[in-house]
Amino acid sequence: MMVGWLVLILALAPLLAVLGCVATRRPRVSEKLNLFASVISFAAALPLPFLTGARAVFFLNGYVIVDRMGAWVVLCTAIVYALSSIYAVGYMRLLGEDARLADFYALFAGFALTTLVAPLMNNVGIYWIAIELTTLVSTFLVAFERAAESMEATWKYIMAVSAGITLALLGTVLFYWGGTFVFGPTYQMTWAALARAAPKIDPVLMNLAFLLVLVGYGTKVGLAPMHNWLPDAHSESPAPVSAMLSGALLNTAIIGIARFLGVMHSAQLGALSAFALVVLGVLSLLIGALFIVRQRGIKRLMAYSSVEHMGVIALGLGFGGPLGIAGALYHMLNHSLNKALMFFGAGVMMRAYGTKEIEKIRGVFTHFPRSGALWLAGAVAITGAPPFGLFMSEFAIMRAGMTPRFSWAVYVMAVLLIVIFIGFLNHFRAMYYDNAEDGGKTGYPAKTEGVWCIVPMGLALVPLLVFGLWWPPDLWLYLASIAHSLSPVTP
């Protein structure tokens, strides 16, 4: 019963915030409503992993599933939503858009609602609808600033992602069709039903359906070569929206891929699906490395880092086993925290210097000693360097891949991570230690380093450091158990 109440609170809090923002139309009231909803959602999501046992819990006649993997993704999303809502209070006031802030916060809370409930959908078709809703709501947030670049990014986002989601729908239809040969012409297509039917479905049909789903949801995740929407959408959105896109939205799509992977394993067809994930993961790392090294835009630098890290998670899922799955899920949490921190810092610097170009941002430590220190620590962390959490998760994933079949991918991964480390931190060296063209007299708004912007950066950095120094044994057991439960449990 407790789990059911928490799930209800988790959904009701942002929903009531949406209604409140629409009703009041007052900017300061709207930001408080969204902030309050984010804190309530986080408070409801935090105990979910501790209350979820090995057997999943079902609600609403089996349409809602609360299992360990779903609870984990919801927690990651709730953390980013809470941090982004704190940051948004300070950042959005800088835009001078008070007349439209109620609309922003209504959409922001609605976006959070879709990303929080999507991982809990037990019906495969309804899960697809939930993922599509995340696209529809976030589209208006990407275009919020109404600049020419943001409008272009919005069109690219909705066209590319909708095309990918269409492929995912086709793959879902093929899975359903395969199930009709087992259950008859109509049945409730839950994850558990697919897992039970999978061993009796034609393997060719299963492999084709999975590849379509992988490409479709992989587009939403931002895996290369379906990533072309991601750099534009993430770089042109307001900074708190960019944090949600990278730290929350991508997770809601990759959990679908993980669940379908569990279905394939239940049919003893995991070989092709795992290989496809590894190939896309390596390709995403390669694309991320190439564009990070030669990047000129500060938020695009963060966006291509998201492509890289989604590739790392794909590698963990593809390598499989307790170590690979646990490493991928641990990486998901660390990436969500880290990427929120990085977009927060990028937003501060972008507004301070009045530019998105890396070469025009200089003397960060001089102008921003507090947020600059947090941002630099986050930059070291996002490259996978010790002693931060991403180092632990990447190392676990590489250990999982040291098998005769996938060792080649581990070697490529190691080389590309070194390239990314050098290229990413070289940009930060320039921003922090190179002299500006105007002799270091770059002007900046006096209020950009406010407490609303600094606090969420610090709140994101602390657990990154803790998780890098200490991987709690109970957390390891929790994540490893998910690897054994990818085949869904019958209600």
- How many C-beta atoms surround the C-beta of residue 438 within 10 A? 10
pTM of the model: 0.94
Phi, psi of 297, rounded to the nearest 5 degrees: -100, 135
Number of C-beta neighbours around residue 455 at 10 A: 16
Decide: residue 43, CB within 10 A, 0-12 exposed, 13-18 middle, 19+ buried. middle
Give residues with Cβ within 8 angstroms of 466, minimum separation 6: 389
Cβ proximity of 106 and 30 under 8 Å? yes
Q: Are 111 and 104 in contact (CB under 8 A)?
A: no
Cα–Cα distance for residue pair 210/24, rounded to 1 Å: 45
Query: What's residue 77's pLDDT?
Result: 97
Q: Categorize the per-residue pLDDT at 448 as very low, low, confident or very high, splitting at 50, 70 and 90.
A: low
Tell me the C-alpha to C-alpha distance, in Å, between residue 195 and each of 179, 269, 490: 10, 12, 9
Q: Hey, what are 271's tokens?
A: 């070989």
In DSSP terms, which residues pair with 59 in a beta bridge? 64
d(CA 84, CA 87): 5
Q: What is the DSSP string of 204-257?
A: HHHHHHHHHHHHHHHHHHT-TTS-TTHHHHHHHS-HHHHHHIIIIIHHHHHHHH
pLDDT, tens digit, for every residue of 92-138? 988 888 889 999 999 999 999 999 999 999 999 999 999 999 999 99
Hunting for tokens 């899975």 — which residue is that?
175
Q: Which of 174, 181, 49, 73 is nearest to 121 (CA)?
A: 73
> What does the pLDDT look like over 57-101, one tens digit per residue?
999 888 999 999 999 999 999 999 999 999 999 999 888 888 899
Q: Which residues contact 93 (CB under 8 A, 6 or more apart)?
A: none
DSSP code of 445?
A: -
pLDDT for 439: 41
